[in-house]
Amino acid sequence: MSGQYKTAWLCEALLVSRSGYYAWIKRRRFPGPRQLENMRLRERIREEFMRSRQTYGSPRLAQVLGCPSRRNRIARLMRLERIFADNAPSIVP
């Protein structure tokens, strides 16, 4: 969109500073160390969740991943991935 309109005009219309816009562009091209770690952690969460047959929640996943102190972070990443444990009891006739 910035090809059609001047960046300064777009930033003014969206009430964003130009320096903030360029910082955002830079962060998208070169993610920081925490974002890179989150991407790796999200992949590991997906793998372990599938390995658990979609039954592990964030406390157990944190334990399996070897980082029990990061339970809240893992819970947040699970929500972003739309991963929810299936805790419904299975009824066997």
Q: Does the model's pTM come out above 0.85? A: no
User: In whole angstroms, what is the distance from residue 8 CA to residue 15 CA?
Assistant: 10
Q: Nearest 10 degrees: CA dihedral of 61, 62, 66, 70? A: 160
**Average pLDDT score, the chain:** 89
Q: What is the 3-state secondary structure (H, E, C) of the chain?
A: CCCCCCHHHHHHHCCCCHHHHHHHHHHHHCCCHHHHHHHHHHHHHHHHHHHCCCCCCHHHHHHHCCCHHHHHHHHHHHHHHCCCCCCCCCCCC
Task: Give tens-digit pLDDT for 32-43.
Answer: 999 999 999 999
Positions of the chain with pLDDT lower than 70, given as ranges: 1-2, 87-93
Per-residue pLDDT at 75: 95
Per-residue pLDDT at 24: 92
